[in-house]
Amino acid sequence: MLISMTGYGRAEGQKDDHTYLVEVRSVNNRFIEINTRLPKAHMDLEQPLKKLIKSYCSRGSITLSISMVNSNENTGEWEVKPNIPLATQYVTALNQIRDSLKLEGKIDLKSMVGIRDIVKIEPLAVDPANHELILNIATEALISLQKMKKEEGINLQKDLEQRIDAIESHAAEIESCQPEVVKEYQNKLKERIKSLNEGMEPDETRIAQETALLADRCDITEEITRLRSHLNQFRNFFNTNEPIGRKLEFITQEINREVNTTGSKSSDIKISNRVIEIKSELEKIREQVQNIE
């Protein structure tokens, strides 16, 4: 079964006054790249979450984000606290300045508002037991992500199967053209020699030798055999349950190599057209394979 690297998963859960939403997005990447966006109160979950993601995903660029909402305060990340000890020191110092310099006025709240650090904004203190809840929600989101990736993988497999079948059909046509190419060359060679010898019949033995040399140089039996073998390997990977994206990329390169060799061995227009069609299919396969985990 093919698994796409592209997908989205989402899950949420609640405990006490806190609601947690976990979202996971994945796009294609040659390797695995993980990014996490976590509330400040749960930054220590970064490594456990990355480990969890790797247990579900082997390739791709994956972003996991967690948002936290407190039903009473509308935000789950921060809380505002007064810095009473510091404010007390400020009030004492300001009163001393006023008394020492015999100034008028009194110290009130308006006087304190602009003073730095007397109000602290800190990450919300959260029960560590909520970490297990968050990991469970993240697991649900990853299961949802995998479900979408598998569904997309089914569509990718259908498309690739059609393209592999098309390549095999073109290869069969190329193989069937080979005897005609040799025969056509033989006839052209006869006509060419005849015209050069002013209508005299050419030496059949020499023509047979030249034809045999051409047939040997243009023989694509090995290329077609290897091409079919690679196509069968490609199909067999559809039935495995392991990540196969890189293997399919390698097999695609091998198919392309055989097709290039086949094209270079023949100048026949029919074969050249079939080679072009195969290379067109291969280009589309190469694009699709880059999305497979």
- The full set of domains in the chain, from first to last, is 7-75+127-148 (3.30.230.10), 78-123 (no CATH), 154-289 (1.20.140)
At 1 the pLDDT is: 81
Between helix 221-236 and helix 130-196 the angle, nearest 10°, is 160
Q: For residue 176, which phi and psi values (nearest 5 degrees)?
A: -70, -25
Give yes or no for residue 185 having a pLDDT over 60.
no
Query: How much is the mean pLDDT over the chain?
Result: 84
The lowest-confidence range among 11-20, 119-128, 262-271 is: 119-128
For the cut 60, the answer to whether the pLDDT of residue 65 exceeds it is yes
Q: Is the pLDDT of residue 153 over 60?
A: yes
Q: Does position 68 have pLDDT exceeding 60, yes or no?
A: yes
Q: What is the pLDDT of residue 214?
A: 55
pLDDT tens digits along 258-277: 999 888 777 778 888 999 99
Mean pLDDT computed over 16-22: 84
**188: confidence class by pLDDT, cuts 50, 70, 90:** low
User: What confidence score (pLDDT) does residue 71 get?
Assistant: 63
C-alpha triplet 172, 174, 179: angle, nearest 5°: 105
- For residue 253, give Cα distances in angstroms to 39, 116, 283: 44, 64, 10
Burial (0-12, 13-18, 19+ Cβ within 10 Å), 141: buried
